Amino acid sequence: MTSWKRTSTPTDTAPGFTGVARFARRGDQAASSLRAGDIAVVDLTDLDRSQAEALVDRRVRAVINAAQSSTGRYPNLGPRILADAGITLIDQVGDGVWNRLKSGETVRIDGNRVFKGETLVAQGVAQDDAAVTASLGEADKGLSTRLESLMANATDHLQRERAMLLEGARVPRLGKRLRKRPVVVVSKTFGWQNDLQRIKKWIRERDPVLIGVADGADALLDAGYKPHIVLGTLDELSARAFHSGALVVVTATSTHGKGGAERFEKAKVDPVWFVATGSANDLAIVLADSNEAPVIVEVGAPQGLMEFLERGPADVASSFVTRLRAGSRLVDAKAAGQFAARSMAMWPVLLILLTGAVAVVAAVAVTPVGADWFDSFGERIDDARTWIEGLFS
């Protein structure tokens, strides 16, 4: 643990360089708060290209990162962009920096240390050109290994489950429950709360089939929805899911895994069995796809390549092949939410139609035939007015 202490070196003759520290914690303030020559204080794990470019555009002198700028999960290019621009990067100074500094204070950077006056307020890892190059090399090797593992496991999964994936063998046929109806598959993973909120309007308007996967069934119930189908292994499905009134689809890797008779009898449930390998979420997508759902909206999908790759090797392979199978039917809830939020209101459409009608009437009115029509129409209005006046005279 770093010991923070005062130093006796005068600031004006001290080594290093000084600048104004400005907080841009999540990086989203970089475009507005930072000025040329500032020292940006951020909290950005795996600093990416766009974040680094925003800092370069603001012409900052240095970047102090409370987090780890490159974890080695993948070869992120943010540190390299800063190094190429000649911007000093001090990494992993810790969350204490937010308490020991205030935005707008002048600080001095000397190597991997940050001083406020004579007080050492932060110390981390200086990311020079050599360190950045080494980090990128290690991350690139790690990513290559993961990708090779993905392809090997995906090939194995496809060979093992080719009848199900290519022909739909052993996939339960649910008749009218799914056919020709949109489907929402809900897993309690990767920002599922925000996903479910984004498509709230879409669910209300389209009335899709709701499939709760494992504890995703509880997520639907907690959000006030009644799932139509709950799917998962016997251990993954809760008592609430069993008693929700939904169709229960129990997954198992083999017929030997079938069991739970007492639990089914107690809950008065007659489950549908889905015998296959793969994660419950992937099997739910295969179920919807095989039952001719026109669109499958996935709630809780990985938000990027790294989230996708960081799960277990078997789950990654299963998800990869499943998404190839579902093809254009599968849509991320984030995209579906964008379409729902941008749906056009009726009044602009009616205004456009009214404007078009007025334009047509005006165009007809200037023609000889149109003039005759309007003259005849005016005479009929006069006749109608005379007749009405006669009724009251």
Point out the domain boundary residue: 109, 134, 159.
134
* Residue of 98, 97, 122 lying closest to 108 (CA atoms): 122
- Answer whether residue 6 is part of any domain: no
- Answer whether residue 163 is part of any domain: no
pLDDT greater than 70 at residue 3? no
Same domain, 222 and 118: no
Least confident of 26-30, 118-122, 340-344: 340-344
Summarize the confidence of residues 314-341 as an average pLDDT: 84
Same domain, 280 and 322: yes
Q: In whole angstroms, how far apart are CA 379 and each of 342, 365, 383?
A: 48, 16, 6
Q: Rounded distance, CA 232 to CA 318, Å? A: 15
Q: Could you tell me the residue range of the domain that residue 365 belongs to?
A: 346-391
Same domain, 336 and 351: no
Same domain, 62 and 183: no
Same domain, 276 and 318: yes
Same domain, 130 and 220: no
Same domain, 126 and 193: no
* Residue of 205, 199, 235, 234 lying closest to 220 (CA atoms): 199
- Answer whether residue 5 is part of any domain: no
Summarize the confidence of residues 204-218 as an average pLDDT: 94
- Answer whether residue 144 is part of any domain: no
- Answer whether residue 157 is part of any domain: no
Same domain, 201 and 244: yes
Q: What angle do CA 56, 59, 62 make, to 5 degrees?
A: 85
Same domain, 198 and 330: yes
Least confident of 195-199, 287-291, 294-298, 387-391: 387-391
pLDDT greater than 90 at residue 154? no
Point out the domain boundary residue: 341, 356, 378.
341
**Residue-wise pLDDT tens digits, 278-314:** 999 999 999 999 999 999 999 998 877 777 777 777 7
Torsional sign, CA 352, 353, 357, 358? negative
Q: What per-residue confidence (pLDDT) applies to 6?
A: 45
Same domain, 248 and 304: yes
The enclosing domain of 34 has a CATH number of: 3.50.30.10
- Answer whether residue 325 is part of any domain: yes
**Residue-wise pLDDT tens digits, 68-91:** 999 887 788 899 999 999 999 999
**Residue-wise pLDDT tens digits, 17-57:** 999 999 988 765 555 678 999 999 999 998 988 889 889 99
Overall number of domains in the chain: 3
pTM of the prediction? 0.65
Same domain, 208 and 280: yes
Mean per-residue pLDDT of the chain:
83
Point out the domain boundary residue: 85, 115, 134.
134
Q: What per-residue confidence (pLDDT) applies to 65?
A: 96
- Answer whether residue 152 is part of any domain: no
- Answer whether residue 355 is part of any domain: yes
Same domain, 222 and 330: yes
